[in-house]
Structures are given as C-alpha cells and as structure tokens.
C-alpha cells in the first residue's frame, strides 16, 4: 500500500470522498457498541459460575485455622487465602494482606495512609508541601485519577517495550525528594501490553531515591492473563529483587482475582515487606474488623491452589485470543504500510495500544462515537487526560461479542483513515 503522505492531493481528496460515503453508511446502521473499558465478557463471567455452588447452608464455613468465616475477625485474611493469593502474587503467604474485592481500592487506601499519616513514621505526605508521582505513559487512567484526587503532581515518564525509561526514572528519583512514588503495571501493561525486562526490574530494585519514603506501586493486574500457552511473558519478582538490593521496604505489590473470577466480587491483596505490612495493619485495626472471609473461603474452595487458577486462565485465553487476533489482523490488513498509525501486539493482558498521527486521536474517538462505537476517551492514558501528542488510543477487545467487535474495529479503522486524510490535507 502507498503511504497516505506519499499520495497527491487529488488522490487524497478522492479517497476522502470514498471514506466519507462509507462513514455515512456506518452511521445509518444505528450501532450501539461499547469498547470503552477492559471488562470481561459475559462468556468469561460464566466461567466462574461454579464458584456460586461451593458454599451453601450445609457447608462447614470454618477456615483451616478453625475460625468461623461468618463472624468478625481475621483482619488480614484467612491462612488458605493468603497462601493462594501469595502464589498468585509470587510471594510467601506471610508477605501478604488480604483485602476486599478491589485492588484499586487497596492502592487508594495505601496511598491515602501515606498521604495522611506517613510511611513507616516519616512525615505525612500532606505536610511535605507539593509532592510528586512518576507516571509511565501511556498508562492506566484510574491510577492517575488516584494521585490527581490527592493533589499530587504527576510527571510523565515515557514507556518503552522494556518498561519505563529507567534513565529518566533513576535521575528524577535520585535528585528530587518530593517524588514519593511511581505507578507501574509491570506485566502486559495497560494499555500497551508490554512486560518489564529483567534489567528494568533490577534497576527498579536498585533505585536510590532522595526521599526515604519513596514507594513503587506495583500493580500486578495481569500476571496470569496470557493469550498464548507457547509464548507467555515472564517477569522477575520485584520484592525479592528489592531485598537482594538492600531496599526491602521500597515496594507495594498489588494483585486481585477481579478478571479471574467476578470483577465485582473478587479478592484483592497487597504484598510488601514485614515493616510495611505492620504499618498497614495499624490502619486496618481502625478501619475494619475483617474483610469478607466467606468470599475468601469461596475462592480457595473453588480453585484449591494455583493450578486451579492456571486452568481457569486457559479458559479465559480461549475466549480472549480470537478477539485480539481479529482486531490485530484487521489492523494489519487495512493499515499496514499507510503510515497513519502503529499498534502493539501483546502476548497477554486486556488492551491494544494504538498511536495515530499526532493531533488525531480525539477526532478519531469522536467520529467513532458519532457512528455508534464508544471507546476510551482519547487522552485517558495520560495524567489529567492530556496526551501531549493527541495520538494514543486504547483498544479494549474483551467485552463485545466477536461479531460486534469486528464491526466496531471496521468502523475504528475507517475513522482512522478518514481523520488521517483530513489531517494530511490540512498540511498541503
């Protein structure tokens, strides 16, 4: 295919007319499709329905420690749940605290505690003047919303296929004591699907921050969300690497079963050093008398061990893989060689990251919406919703049925072509 920028003005004007006619045809279809969030499909949710049957009114509802899970107590999780979530998060059971259903809520709680009461006895962040966070971009919008909520200044750090630009990370954290943390989705990152290299993880572990209360917020959201059995990304375990590097307290590592079982009724946890966990427990003794132990028990009785989770994830992959492949095949067939966009091809996770020509993302997403396909807002993958290049678009293939996903992708590609032609014509 001939790149758009190499075509004559007359060719582009003719192409624009053809694309506009195709777009009007789409508008006439009355589509109402949603690709805005990385939600599991109904078919994926059905995979966990057996969990509803593992507890009933005749079940022994005591955990292995003999504690009645219907009652108060066991603030940091029943032993078998700590063991299972520890395996999921690649840490020993004694390095984990179990929470409720949402890892995002755990991240909010941990950051709020640091903000209002400080970390391990250090001055609360709210009394240290303007504090800052590093934000690998493009990244997860809900991470950025948490730091924005607390008025923390966010600093963009470019992502690479190996992870965040570590030269920049090392320089910033070593020179500026007002930088208190960094957001990370280290495996099958949101939205690019990148996995941090071994060297990147080791450089994180060896950081020498100017702030003694600097923390890495390591969101292990997609660690078992592979698309393929024969090409699965592998990542070093950061807590261990931090211990080896002499920085045991520098990381909080979050995990949940939200996209493994039921997003609204999963189990979430945080792993950290003993000192950090003891610090968190002080808050928990005030905040709660215990999270939902019946749900913890339900998950353990259903999966039994990590092998049970792995079997479940193969079923998820069988549903997700055709959707990712459909989108990627269409992008390859329709856009390869036109030089109006680039896209990632992840081995797992929930997203494909698309970069349009600079200044085009908002217009592409708006056009798709006008024709009936809702996508994640352009700019959402950057702090404050401001993509400095207005180019990144997050594609979320998981939720729609395959037939609808194909229609939505067809429209998306059409919008990419139309907006790109208009952009190039503006410069002629």
Q: Which two tokens stand for residue 134?
A: 């590093």
What is the b/e burial string over 395-405, where b = at least 16 CB atoms within 10 angstroms of the residue's CB?
A: bbbbbbeeebb
Return the pLDDT at 337.
Answer: 97
pLDDT digits (tens, 9 = 90+) for 211-239: 999 999 999 999 999 999 999 999 999 99
pLDDT digits (tens, 9 = 90+) for 369-405: 999 999 999 999 999 999 999 999 999 999 999 999 9
The whole-angstrom separation of Cα 35 and Cα 204 is 33
Backbone angle region of 126, left / alpha / beta, with phi > 0 → left and psi within -120 to 50 → alpha: alpha
CATH number of the domain at 4-44+310-426, out of 3.40.50.720, 3.30.70.3270, 3.90.1150.10, 3.40.50.300? 3.90.1150.10
Q: Which two tokens stand for residue 401?
A: 């049925």
pLDDT digits (tens, 9 = 90+) for 165-193: 999 999 999 999 999 999 999 999 999 99
Residue 135 has pLDDT above 90, yes or no: yes
Q: Which two tokens stand for residue 398?
A: 């998981």
Return the pLDDT at 1.
Answer: 83
Return the pLDDT at 206.
Answer: 98
The whole-angstrom separation of Cα 26 and Cα 11 is 23
Return the pLDDT at 37.
Answer: 86
DSSP code string of 262-331 = -TTS--EEEE--HHHHHHHHHHHHHH-S---HHHHHHHHHHH-SHHHHHHHHHHHHHHHHHHHHHHHHHH
The whole-angstrom separation of Cα 269 and Cα 245 is 24
Q: Identify the architecture of domain 61-304 in CATH.
A: 3-Layer(aba) Sandwich (3.40)
Return the pLDDT at 89.
Answer: 97
> What residue segments make up the domains of the chain, in order of their start?
4-44+310-426, 61-304
pLDDT digits (tens, 9 = 90+) for 50-62: 999 999 999 999 9
Tell me what the mean pLDDT of segment 135-162 comes to: 98
Return the pLDDT at 268.
Answer: 98
Task: Give me the half-sphere count of Cα atoms (radius 13 Å) on the Cβ side of residue 383.
Answer: 21
Could you give the 3-state DSSP secondary structure of residue 345? coil
pLDDT digits (tens, 9 = 90+) for 198-212: 999 999 999 999 999
Tell me what the mean pLDDT of segment 257-275 comes to: 97
Return the number of other C-beta atoms located less than 10 Å from residue 241's C-beta. 18
Sign of the dihedral through C-alpha 134, 359, 190, 340:
negative
Portion of the chain with pLDDT greater than 70, in percent:
100
The whole-angstrom separation of Cα 133 and Cα 6 is 42
Return the pLDDT at 370.
Answer: 96
Could you give the 3-state DSSP secondary structure of residue 252? strand
Q: What is the mean pLDDT of the chain?
A: 97
Tell me what the mean pLDDT of segment 306-315 comes to: 98
């Amino acid at each position: 295919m001939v790149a758009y920028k190499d075509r004559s003005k007359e060719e582009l004007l003719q192409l624009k007319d053809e694309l506009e006619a195709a777009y009007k045809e789409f508008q006439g279809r009355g589509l109402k499709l949603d690709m805005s969030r990385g939600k599991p499909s109904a078919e994926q949710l059905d995979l966990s329905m057996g969990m509803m049957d593992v507890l009933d009114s005749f079940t022994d509802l005591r955990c292995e420690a003999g504690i009645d899970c219907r009652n108060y107590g066991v603030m940091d999780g029943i032993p078998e749940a700590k063991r299972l979530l520890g395996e999921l998060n690649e840490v020993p059971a004694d390095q984990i605290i179990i929470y409720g259903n949402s890892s995002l809520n755990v991240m909010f709680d941990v950051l709020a505690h640091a903000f209002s009461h400080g970390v391990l006895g250090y001055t609360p962040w709210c009394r240290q003047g303007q504090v800052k966070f590093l934000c690998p971009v493009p990244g997860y919008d809900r991470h950025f919303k948490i730091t924005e909520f607390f008025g923390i200044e966010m600093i963009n750090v470019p992502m690479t296929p190996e992870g965040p630009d570590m030269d920049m990370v090392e320089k910033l954290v070593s020179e500026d004591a007002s930088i208190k943390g960094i957001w990370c989705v280290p495996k099958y990152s949101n939205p690019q699907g990148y996995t941090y290299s071994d060297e990147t993880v080791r450089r994180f572990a060896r950081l020498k921050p100017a702030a003694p209360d600097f923390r890495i917020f390591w969101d292990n959201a997609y660690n078992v969300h592979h698309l393929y059995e024969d090409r699965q990304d592998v990542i070093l375990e950061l807590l261990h690497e931090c211990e080896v590097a002499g920085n045991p307290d520098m990381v909080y590592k979050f995990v949940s079963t939200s996209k493994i079982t039921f997003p609204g009724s999963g189990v979430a946890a945080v792993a950290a050093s003993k000192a950090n966990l003891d610090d968190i427990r002080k808050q928990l003794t005030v905040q709660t008398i215990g999270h939902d132990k019946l749900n913890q028990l339900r998950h353990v009785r259903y999966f039994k061990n990590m092998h049970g989770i792995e079997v479940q994830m193969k079923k998820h992959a069988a549903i997700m893989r055709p959707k990712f492949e459909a989108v990627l095949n269409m992008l390859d067939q329709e856009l390869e060689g036109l030089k109006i966009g680039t896209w990632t091809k992840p081995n797992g996770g929930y997203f494909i990251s698309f970069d349009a020509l600079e200044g085009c993302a908002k217009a592409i997403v708006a056009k798709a919406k006008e024709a009936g396909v809702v996508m994640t807002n352009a700019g959402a993958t950057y702090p404050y919703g401001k993509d400095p290049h207005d180019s990144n678009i997050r594609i979320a293939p998981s939720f729609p049925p395959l037939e609808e996903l194909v229609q939505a992708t067809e429209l998306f590609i059409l919008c990419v072509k139309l907006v790109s032609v208009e952009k190039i014509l503006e410069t002629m």
